[in-house]
Structure 1
Amino acid sequence: MAGIIAYGAYVPYHRLRRADIADTLGSGGGKGTRSVASYDEDTTSMAVEAARATLPPGRARERVEQLFLATATPPYLDKTNAAAVHAALGLDEQVLAADMAGAVRSGVAALLAGASAAVPTLSVLADLRTGAPGGADESAGGDGAAAFLFAGHREDMPVLAQLIGHSTVSDEILERWRLPGASSSRVWEERFSEGIYVSQAAKALGSALDGAGIAASAIDHFAVVGLHARACAAVRRSADVRPEAHAPDYTGVIGNAGTAQPGLQLADALDRAQPGETIALVVLGDGVSVLLFRTTDALPAHRAAKPVADQAAAGAPAMKYATFLSWRGMLDREPPRRPDPEPPYAPPAHRRAAWKYAFIGSRCEKCATRHLPAERVCRSCGEVDAMAAEPMEHVRGKVATFTVDRLAFTPSPPMIAVVVDFDGGGRFRCELTDATEAEAVIGGRVEMTFRRTVTANGIHNYFWKARPVREAEAPAPAAAVGDESREGAR
């Protein structure tokens, strides 16, 4: 079986206290918090962030030959959402980009498709979970994404974890459903399917372990995921697995990320595992799938730069429930007295795709001046057509100046606009996201993030924004397996 050669996860910055739901509605809620995708995030933008964490700019991206995006909440129907992820990563045009969408089980399908592929495949899982106000899906849900690069048949890529066995039981269970156009799912009474899932999990886990030739007691990291909380708990109790092997529970902090939850749990297991350990991932939903991985000696040197546990602990102070409802489109607020925003237009967007999606500028080959966006004529020395492509997504900078605009159109007023001076040269004006007014300070360190700037006439406009660098200043992320380090500020 093919193995994982790189991985990464993304947990949005914002958090909602479940108790605030009950405080507002008088019912629902619960304890802890859940992760919340910002007003300018969706499953495509979160998928890009997880993929960027998996594949820093470099040679590893050049080796990707397939890209699968799994989500139950695609921003587009009848259009490939993975194509935007492909464009943001700057992958070769011959790379297949395809969606696996519609249900949370598409996440495990993307993992198995990547693991069984003959060519290097990037499997990305993303989800934005919500439900009717005050309902269990709303409070128990969470938003996030994870990505995994599988080696295919390439033998020149060190494997971090190898898929040593898997088994699946498929079943048509009327447990959860959502009609096209509906804003939330409907579920049957949980006791109906709990026993079904426990029985199927025992069968699938036993089959996977037998196929791999190992016993349940040999499992070092055991994670059970699914939207059926009672069934997941029952499977954990019934499995003959050592207590210390059970995975940490982050649902009290970030919630259940649905399609992305198997990916987040697998990424967390890889964050914590030592070489030679066995990871068992059990996924419930319209049946049960079990994936068994064994880690290798290469894992410690190539772990993800931002562990899942650190991202879970680094969330923002709790937001207001009314803000959450507004971001989810369930509470309409009056827009500013300005003309409605215009949608992006297809021809210019396609012509400037390298800039719009991959954030690629240019550098003059004569005087080394950076240009954002890319230009043909150097503004410093006047040289014509002597430019080299300059990827900028990974370059950090500092705020040169900013303004707080209370009249500009934004789903989360006010808009904070900043001018960024990038390390190594180049200046760019953009929005500052995931930040309060107090965090907009001259000299503040920022990094770039891929976001949805606006939706107009049914068209999503994606571009790049700045966000504050909150962790201690650190070196640039290590290059992915098989990469060569880039020169400092290129």
Structure 2
Amino acid sequence: MTGLLSYGSYIPYHRLRRSDMQAALGASGGRGSRAVASYDEDVVSMGVEAGSAALQGQRGLPERLYFATSFPPYLDKTNAAVLHAALGLDRAALAVDMAGSPRSAIGALLAASEARVPALAVVADIRTGLPGSSDEREGGDAAAAFLFGRGTSETPELATVLAFASTTEEFLERWRTPGEKASHTWEERFAEHVYRPLAEDAFTTSLKAADLAPGQIDHLVVSGLATRAVRQFAQASGVRPEAVVDNLADRIGNPGAAQPGILLAAALDRAGAGENVALVHLADGASAMLMRTTEHLLSRRSSTGVSGQADGPHGELSYITFLTWRGMLDREPPRRPEPDPPAAPPTRRSAGYKLAFQAARCDACGAVNVPPGKVCFACSAVDQMSRLSLRDTPATVATFTVDRLAFTPSPPMVAVVVDFDGGGRFRCELADAAPADAHIGLRVGLTFRRLLTADGVHNYFWKARPLRTDETRL
């Protein structure tokens, strides 16, 4: 196995209070809130956010991309290819999906950590269920990304992978057939009975391989959708109670396939140098991964970690809006013609701009052209352009308007014109903000979103969103 070179996390801006569910349905809603992906977000767009955070400053990496989710936007098409394009990876880099179940996250992490070349594991999920169900109430949406490889002086290892162990057993605990929106579950007592010995075997085997005892684990992450089994194993693991990482259930909910990644990122956010981190994931068996942090972790982790996103500024969402976004409630759409689906040939020709947001700098006058073209808009020089990516470049709102007539699934549309630091002007929508939040001088960054879906084709492009506190990029 190799070492962890970097990592990133993404928690959507919107929150749904469980008390609002309770008020609407007249049933127990539980405590706290759950994170909700916006109407224009899916697991791919959230994966791009997490992957961008993990790859910040990592030039020429990775050479492998493994994408795990239980809610893929496409079947018979590689979702990881969209991430590959949006992250601006080299054409030779392999991108594959590991989709269908929450356990796929462990497969992505293991494949990336065992690759002989730098590899990125991206885990993302959107969890929902029928109105009033425990999955709807306890679920959450999030994404995380982890870059593994051999450390160098420029890219040192933040943690060393010590051991991995797994157990697998076929049993009926959670399932969903193709086409169904919600999962089915057996009763929790059955899951507790089955999962405990599986988790104990995987954890014990990994500790033995790493020559560690439970008391030497400084941070224990236990994840899985069988919440009672997860809690029972954490209590019986032999690890000190204060070392068990908070599952964030009251703050963002359980994001399924993304939960092991989000909680592992949270553990790394608070870990010190030379500490042992254990991840145990319960899903159709159990898997355990052990890591030991290095002194480089403290200086290279993200300034906006999991806690900063979970507790930072966010937008409150009504339960009716949540149901509409999830397709559980059909509401009268805007009385505007729906846009046509994107066509394959022009999409491919403009993929550098559309997906990776590549602009062009004029070699003659230095003007930044957005979108890129053959002729410079400033000096009219022809074919004297150098490509550059503005994906990670902050910008400032130069002007804006609130458009109440334009087609959007969540009216009104806030349209902004932004000026990028270093040059370049772009007109787009403003996401994760109310009309009252828009103002001239607002600092924003780009965010990858799904504009619309027509005839089964997802149209991805970039929007602007306000930068969060202490955030220099997305």
Structure-2-length-normalised TM-score: 0.98
Deviations 1:431-469 (A, max 9, x none): 001110101112211111000011111100000000112
For residue 219 of structure 2, the aligned residue among 212, 218, 221 is: 221
The reply to whether residue 459 of structure 1 matches residue 440 of structure 2 is: no
Q: Which residue of 1 aligns with 2:23?
A: 23
Distance 1:342 1:161, change over 3 A: same
* SS across alignment from 1:126: strand
Select 1:86's aligned residue among 71, 84, 92: 84
Q: CA deviation at 1:419?
A: 1.0
Identity among equivalent positions (%) equals 54
Q: 2:13–2:37: 8 Å Cα contact kept in structure 1?
A: yes
Aligned to 1:486: none
- Runs of 4+ in structure 1 off by over 2 angstroms are 152-157, 474-477
- From 155, 160, 163, the equivalent of 2:161 is 163
Trace 1:28-427 onto structure 2 (pairs within 5 A): 28-56=28-56, 58=57, 60-151=58-149, 157-427=155-425
Please report how far the alpha carbon of residue 335 of structure 1 lies from its aligned counterpart in structure 2 after TM superposition: 1.3
CA distance in 1, matches of 2:52, 2:88: 11
**Structure 1 residue 475 displacement after superposition:** 5.1
**Structure 1: runs of 5+ lacking an equivalent:** 478-490
Paired residue for 1:448? 446
* Distance change >3 Å, CA 468–CA 220, structure 1 → 2: same
| Residues 53 and 305 in structure 1, CA contact (< 8 A), matched pair in contact too | no
Residue 242 of structure 1, CA deviation: 1.1
Q: Quote the Cα distance in structure 2 between the aligned partners of 1:152 and 1:66.
A: 14
The superposition leaves residues 48-80 of structure 1 with CA deviations (integer Å, 9 ceiling, x where unpaired) of 000001112x5x241311000000000000100
How many angstroms apart in 2 are the aligned matches of 1:23 and 1:12?
23
2:220–2:278 CA contact under 8 A, matched in 1: yes
Q: Secondary structure at the match of 2:254?
A: coil
Contact 1:72 / 1:101 at 8 angstroms: preserved in 2? yes
Task: Tell me the CA shift for residue 256 of structure 1.
Answer: 0.4
Structure 1: distance between partners of 2:437 and 2:393: 20
1:206–1:155 Cα change, 3 Å = farther
- CA offsets 1:83-128 (integer angstroms, 9 cap, x no match): 0000001111110000000000000110011111111100000000
> Counterpart of 2:40 in structure 1: which amino acid?
D
Q: Is the 8 A contact 2:144 2:258 kept in 1?
A: yes
The answer to whether the Cα contact below 8 Å between 1:119 and 1:153 also exists between their aligned partners in 2 is: no
Provide the rounded CA distance (Å) in 1 between the counterparts of 2:107 and 2:472: 35
Matched AA of 2:388: E
Local SS of the residue matching 1:62: coil
Residue deviations 1:195-215, cap 9 Å, x none?
A: 211111111111110111110
Please list every run of 5 or more consecutive structure 2 residues that lacks an aligned counterpart in the other structure: none
Verify the 8 A CA contact 2:394 2:446 in the aligned structure 1: yes
Q: CA RMSD in A?
A: 1.4
CA contact (8 A) 1:71 1:104 kept: yes
2:42 and 2:59 map into 1 onto residues whose CA distance is 23
| Helix, strand or coil at the partner of 1:441 | coil
Residue type of the partner of 1:421?
Answer: D
Contact 1:5 1:159 in 2 (8 A): yes
In the TM superposition, residue 36 of structure 1 has moved relative to its aligned partner by 0.3
Larger CA deviation: 373-382 vs 30-39: 373-382
Q: What TM-score, normalized by structure 1, do the two folds share?
A: 0.94
